[in-house]
Amino acid sequence: MTTAYQGQLSLKDIAELAGVGRPAVSNWRARNENFPSPVEDSPPRRPLFHFDEIVGWLEKEGLLPDDWKTKATNVLVSAAINPLTTNSGDNTGAAKVALAVLAAYKNASENRYDFLPDASDIHASLEQFLKSLVPNIISSAQLEALGESITSIPTAALVTLVHGLARINDDSYGTAAQMIVEVLFGNAGRSVFGHHTTSTAASTLMINAASTTTEAGATVFDPTCGLSGVLLGVGSRVDDSTVIGNDLNPDSVSISMLRAYLDGVEASFTVSDLLVNDPQPGLQADTIVSEPPFSLRLGSEQFESVAESVNALLGVKIPPTVAGDVAFLTYPISHLSSEGRAYVLTAPSLCSHPRLDEFRQKLVARGMVEAIVQLPQKLLTTTSIATTLWVLRAPDQSGNPAPVLLADASNTESPEEHIAEWLTAMRNGKTTTIPTGSLSLAEMVTTGSNLLPSQVLAQAPSSEELLDDFNDAWADLSTTADSIKAVLPTGKPEAGEIPTASSTESITKIESIARVSTRSWANDEKRPDDTISAQLATRRKNKNPVEVFIKTDAQTLLPGDIIVPLMAPAPAWVFGNEEGKWVAPPHAFVLRVKDDSFLPAYLVACINAPFNAYDDGTRIPRRRLSEIKIPLLDIAEQKKVVDVIEPLQQLSQQAEQLAAQSEASTSAVANLIYFGADI
């Protein structure tokens, strides 16, 4: 007899299941005593609830949509694997087991419900059930490794996984597999597997780009396939394709094999270090896609192998420091068919590294580079590193290579949605929505071998622009210089006119100064239910604010509040009269004067004064409010101090502006020297 299914849902999952927003679910939970209780021992900040209890409650309350089963794949998968995310420290093993269970269910077809064991024999029964995957889907060695992962998963989590995944519809296995990978590897970024997250903008961009030249019957190859999101994405779009993947990591390949089966894509995989042992020595592929690791440091054996292959291909020597990047860029070229294309994602340094001038010239001279697209930062998961997409082809034997097509998408949003449009337009000689152009071998010889699109495509300013910049810069400089004259003190105050204090007090002990808490949440999913939006004063004078969420009854900043950054080098400042609700940055103290005994401007001057400089021995010391001393003056004396200090502060701000405008004027003069021959 099987146990009742106890899949677990988060608040977000429940909202998706019911077709409402997360706050609505929180309201149901708060206002209905019969709302199901969280699973025992689930995280308090991310409570989980039993799947069947939630479905039963929603159905009883008339809140369960009629068509929920047709849209419930994501929720069903979440319910099945949520316990794994909290109980297993081995996401790799958990992913392999989850995908293998799905694959076994697909392989068993309509008989899959015959396998729903009790907790008493779940581990042994599952290992026996998964033997059906050998040898057509995975190998016996991979099955043995699966057995080790199964034993490491707690019984309750394994029961939930097995029973939950049995509910996935026959036509949803591929979607379920993708979600398992996203949930278990979504924040892994670039790691030992290469790219864990298969739904990132980068992977979508690669799929859309490669699809522009991949036709029916094509051979598609990924030499650094990772978990094969890109490889299978391209292969699934093409009829009668031959799909081949390779990766250095055996676990990565195991997951890829299971995903291929679940996606319905026939594919073969190898495990090999392509830098020393070519896994496909005779392959000539029509499409090659690759998201290799960046800046990989090579061992001596790897470097010798790479140096030899690059020299054979181009007749050039390469420096060891960039040999890894060069190897991953050139390897696909030797495996392309005559009309094939390779799409390789690299760091921008390959386009401009000074020690690769000859390397780039040889690539272009032999017609191996069709296009380079410079992409925006933060395209990859968990890193802001910039990237470029190289579109490569087999060597041109004509001796008259076509110019390299260049596109600068570094300042665009969602390039993955437009990459196919850009590449198609560039190939057809049409204009695009981003800066594009081309560079011939002759131009490279005369102007240098830099292939970074943003630099090659940079337009020289026109005569009108040069003159406008020159005149505007000097006009701004003159205006600021005049305004400085207006705030210059007319004379030095006498030292005897500056009030002096006979005593000081710690700012934390002054009763008329209170500390204010303005806690906020930037993450919409983790914020409490009774919150509203507010702005966050992230920098002095509220520059570059961002929207956050605060409790409905939370304190917000008032004019005159003092913002004291936690980091000692950053100056304190007085919050002004800004419209809307504002809260302080997360790493700052907020002080408020409760009566008229202190002027906020005076307190800020004291906090920023040298006598309150603080050093705790670290590189960037952190302030302690208890260490801040305030000289005690009456309000009239404080006003005298502020009257002296405020013009000096204004002068300092004007001086900063003057320095920036002086630099702009200097640049305008330099540009006239360089570009102004036609004026």
Q: How many CA atoms lie within 13 A of 384 on its CB side?
A: 0
Q: Is the pLDDT of residue 587 over 90?
A: no
* Residues facing 288 on adjacent strands: 221, 342
Contacts of 94 (CB under 8 A, 6+ apart): 81, 84, 88, 149, 153, 184
Residue range 121-165, pLDDT digits in tens:
788 888 888 999 999 999 999 999 998 889 888 888 888 888 888
Task: Choose the most confident range, by mean pLDDT, from 225-234, 580-589, 620-629.
Answer: 225-234
Alpha helices in 166-299 (DSSP H): 173-185, 201-210, 229-235, 250-263
Q: How far is CA 66 from the centre of its chain?
A: 37
Locate 310 and state its tokens.
Answer: 């690059």
Which amino acid is located at 218 in the chain?
Answer: A
- pLDDT digits over 390-422, tens only? 999 999 877 788 999 999 999 999 999 999 999
The answer to whether 203 and 415 have CB atoms below 8 angstroms apart is no
Percent of the chain scoring above 70 in pLDDT = 92
Q: Residue 99, class by beta-carbon neighbours within 10 Å (0-12 exposed, 13-18 middle, 19+ buried)?
A: buried
pLDDT of residue 2: 39
Distances in Å between the alpha carbon of 269 and those of 56, 142, 245, 363? 44, 13, 5, 29
- Percent pLDDT > 90 in the chain is 50
pLDDT of residue 196: 42
Residue 39 has pLDDT above 90, yes or no: no
Task: Identify the pLDDT of residue 88.
Answer: 56
Cβ atoms within 10 Å, residue 593 = 18
**pLDDT one-digit tens code per residue, 369-393:** 999 999 998 887 666 788 999 999 9
pLDDT at 112 over 70: no
Q: CA-CA distances (angstroms) from residue 553 to 8, 126, 520, 529?
A: 33, 52, 12, 12
Q: CA–CA distance from 138 to each of 17, 152, 257, 465 (Å)?
A: 34, 20, 7, 65
Asked if the bond preceding 600 is cis, omega within 30° of 0, the reply is: no
Task: Return the DSSP state at 199.
Answer: T
Non-local (6+) Cβ contacts of 616 within 8 A are 622
The mean pLDDT of 608-626, rounded to a whole number, is 84
Q: Which band of pLDDT confidence, cut at 50, 70 and 90, is reported for residue 303? A: very high
Q: What does the pLDDT look like over 516-569, one tens digit per residue? A: 987 787 766 567 767 777 888 766 554 567 788 888 888 889 999 999 999 888
The pLDDT of residue 539: 60
Query: Binning pLDDT at 50, 70 and 90, where does residue 111 land?
Result: low
Band of residue 191 on the pLDDT scale cut at 50, 70, 90:
very low
From CA 379, how far away is CA 87, in angstroms rounded? 31
Report the candidate in 542, 539, 537 with the shortest Cα–Cα distance to residue 516: 537
- pLDDT attached to residue 192: 41
Contact 642, 602 (CB under 8 A): yes
pLDDT score at 214: 96
Lowest-confidence segment of 246-250, 617-621, 633-637, 659-663 by average pLDDT? 617-621
DSSP assigned state of 16: H
Q: What is the pLDDT of residue 11?
A: 86
**Which residue did the predictor score with more confidence, 616 or 371?**
371
Alpha helices in 428-508 (DSSP H): 441-447, 453-456, 463-487
For 275-301, write each residue's pLDDT tens digit.
999 999 999 999 999 999 988 899 999
Phi, psi of 341 (to 5 degrees): -135, 140
The per-residue pLDDT for 525 is 57
Q: b/e for 395-427, b at 16 or more Cβ within 10 A?
A: beeeeebebbbbbbbbebeebbebbbebbebbe
The structural domains of the chain, ordered by start, are: 8-185 (no CATH), 203-214+271-456 (3.40.50.150), 500-632 (3.90.220.20)
* Residue 135: strand, helix, or coil: coil
Average pLDDT, the chain: 87
| Tokens found for residue 330 | 């050139």
**What span, in angstroms and rounded, lies between the C-alpha atoms of 163 and 96?**
17
pLDDT at residue 65 greater than cutoff 60: yes
Per-residue pLDDT at 188:
46
**pLDDT band at 86, cuts 50/70/90?**
low
207, 184 Cβ separation under 8 angstroms: no
DSSP letters for 51-112: HHHHHHHHHHTT-S-TTGGGG-HHHHHHHHHHHHHHH-S-HHHHHHHHHHHHHHHHHHGGGG
Residue 99 CA to residue 81 CA, distance in Å, equals: 11
Lowest mean pLDDT, pick from 42-51, 183-192, 589-598: 183-192
- Mean pLDDT confidence for 50-72: 84
**Residue 264 pLDDT more than 70?**
yes
Report d(CA 396, CA 338) in Å as an integer.
9
Cα angle value 506/511/512 (rounded, 5°): 105
Of residues 327 and 162, the one with the higher pLDDT is 327
